[in-house]
């Protein structure tokens, strides 16, 4: 009930996390007791097997799923990203002040990084695939198995070139990184990548406001805009109608049911699919993923409980915010305001988030 009212607390299923720890860290007796704010970083903290204190270090980057078909077969793309993360980690180790000795020690011992992915829902829409579908499950598995396979290969390559991390070396393993993957929420950096969807979560609306120093601008779903253009319906009146309906297209009679399914918004998607897809990708993510759940404010408490139960039962490691909304509607754009609209009831959230993960 508190999560429904405030979106918090975030949940960590610690037994699941510790069962999935890298083999060499389990053998060293390391374990996870907490995460970062965004609940995707799962690293040992406190005293380790050598009696030294560790402070977890987030060293993150994200690739864009929207361009997956361009980089999936590239021989060095993921390796280059992992080299970049290794270089960033080394730069931190060399430059950090003495006051951060525990963090430097942890970074040296385990060299854990977190390569993530953003744009998952945008990629599905690009491929004309509904979020609630077997095809979405297929693409989801393909994406994350590709990431895991290439990250593992990069870790071994860098271990041979630069040496394995001490934690792995102590157990006779050739791994440069103890952890390699962590899916951050990416709400801010997704904007830099052309407004692709944040992390692995569904989009909140097909039109939303983007505030900058120059003013507030309406940002439209480019793939929906193409369909509207093809059908001769890419007009201010149609977008105003979408705005009035909280970013939804379910009321547009000229769209096929297939199109309506592809462009469902986060609150229109059955959240069991969010958990299902998260559970499917979990075995390929050595840390965790920021999983937001989107529910109406009047959701039945039993349904709320069962959704959380499903996440635990299916092996998800953590849950981030529970996004809920009251019966609240988006502002109507009105005659001459289509270029700058207020989407406060649709895409804006009042939750404070960790900018380092965004």
Q: Is 32 left (phi over 0), alpha (psi -120 to 50) or beta?
A: beta
For 354, list phi and psi in degrees, rounded to 5: -75, 110
292, 321 in Cβ contact below 8 A?
A: yes
Distance between CA atoms of residues 258 and 299, nearest Å: 26
Output helix, strand, coil percentages for the chain, rounded to the nearest 5: 45, 10, 45
Q: Does residue 286 carry a catalytic annotation?
A: no
175, 155 in Cβ contact below 8 A?
A: yes
Catalytic residue among 1, 8, 27, 40: 40
Catalytic residue among 8, 38, 90, 161: 38
Q: Does residue 38 carry a catalytic annotation?
A: yes
Would you call 145 helix, strand, or coil by DSSP? helix
Report DSSP state, residue 115: E
Catalytic residue among 18, 36, 234, 357: 36
Q: Does residue 40 carry a catalytic annotation?
A: yes
Distance between CA atoms of residues 242 and 245, nearest Å: 5
Catalytic annotation, residues:
36, 38, 40
């Amino acid at each position: 009930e508190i999560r429904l009212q405030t979106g918090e607390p975030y949940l960590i299923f610690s037994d699941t996390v510790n069962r999935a720890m890298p083999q060499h860290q389990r053998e060293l007796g390391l374990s996870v007791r907490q995460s970062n704010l965004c609940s995707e970083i799962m690293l040992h903290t406190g005293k380790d097997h050598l009696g030294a204190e560790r402070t977890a270090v987030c060293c993150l980057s994200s690739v864009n799923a929207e361009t997956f078909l361009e980089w999936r077969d590239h021989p060095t793309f993921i390796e280059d990203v992992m080299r970049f993360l290794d270089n960033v980690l080394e730069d931190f180790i060399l430059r950090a002040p003495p006051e951060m000795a525990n963090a430097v020690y942890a970074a040296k011992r385990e060299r854990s990084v977190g390569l993530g992915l953003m744009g998952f829902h945008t990629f599905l829409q690009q491929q004309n695939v509904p979020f609630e579908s077997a095809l979405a499950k297929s693409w989801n598995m393909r994406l994350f198995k590709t990431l895991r396979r290439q990250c593992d290969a990069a870790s071994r390559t860098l271990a041979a070139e630069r040496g394995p991390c001490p934690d792995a070396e102590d157990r006779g393993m050739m791994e440069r990184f103890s952890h390699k993957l962590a899916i951050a929420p990416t709400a801010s950096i997704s904007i830099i990548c052309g407004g692709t969807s944040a992390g692995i979560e569904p989009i909140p609306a097909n039109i939303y406001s983007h505030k900058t120093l120059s003013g507030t601008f309406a940002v439209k779903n480019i793939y929906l805009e193409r369909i509207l253009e093809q059908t001769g319906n890419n007009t201010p009146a149609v977008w105003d109608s979408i705005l009035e309906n909280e970013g939804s297209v379910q009321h547009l009679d000229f769209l096929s049911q297939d199109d309506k399914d592809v462009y469902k918004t986060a609150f229109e998607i059955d959240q069991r699919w969010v958990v299902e897809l998260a559970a499917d990708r979990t075995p390929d993510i050595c840390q965790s993923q920021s999983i937001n759940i989107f529910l109406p404010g009047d959701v039945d408490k039993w349904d709320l409980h069962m959704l959380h139960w499903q996440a635990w039962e299916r092996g998800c490691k953590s849950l981030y915010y529970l996004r809920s909304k009251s019966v609240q509607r988006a502002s109507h754009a009105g005659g001459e305001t289509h270029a700058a609209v207020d989407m406060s009831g649709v895409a804006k959230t009042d939750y404070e988030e960790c900018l380092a993960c965004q």
